Amino acid sequence: MKKSISIQSTLDNITHIEKLVDEISEQCKLSSDIYGKILIATIEAVNNSITHGNKYDISKTVDVAFQINDSSIHIYVKDQGPGFNYHDIPDPTRPENIENVSGRGVFLMRNLADSIEFDDNGSKVELIFHI
């Protein structure tokens, strides 16, 4: 099963992503644990795309695609920004970074997804969840 959505770069549109995750969760009969991980990681990825990738430019979109099979869900989030150096994100749990606001979204995605991959210079992320 495949589902996709394209949204304008405004935080209000995150509700459309939440609804789509809810639909997928119901159709796949996901446990509440997996559902929560997918919801939070996907919202973090979309939020980062809107905020950092597209810089709230409503003329730019964020594309989100879900590819679901019997054993996994792959979520692709792509923005139209220049990308970023995903290898050089400070660990937000280190004492010197505790008060930093940025870096937490990628940290959450890495800890919630079973696997995460960045592509297109960081403007595309793939989140993989085993179900």
For the chain, the three-class secondary structure string (H helix, E strand, C coil) is CEEEEEEECCHHHHHHHHHHHHHHHHHHCCCHHHHHHHHHHHHHHHHHHHHHHCCCCCCCEEEEEEEECCCEEEEEEECCCCCCCCCCCCCCCCHHHCCCCCCHHHHHHHHHCCEEEEEHHHCEEEEEEEC
User: Which domains does the chain show, CATH number per domain?
Assistant: 2-130 (3.30.565.10)
Which residue, chain included where needed, has tokens 């995605």?
A: 109
pLDDT at 102: 72
pLDDT at 96: 81
Q: What is the mean pLDDT of each run of 10 residues along the chain (131 residues)?
A: 97 98 97 98 98 97 97 98 88 80 86 97 97 95
CA–CA distance, 131 with 112 (Å, rounded to integer): 13
Are the C-beta atoms of residues 45 and 77 closer than 8 Å to each other?
A: yes
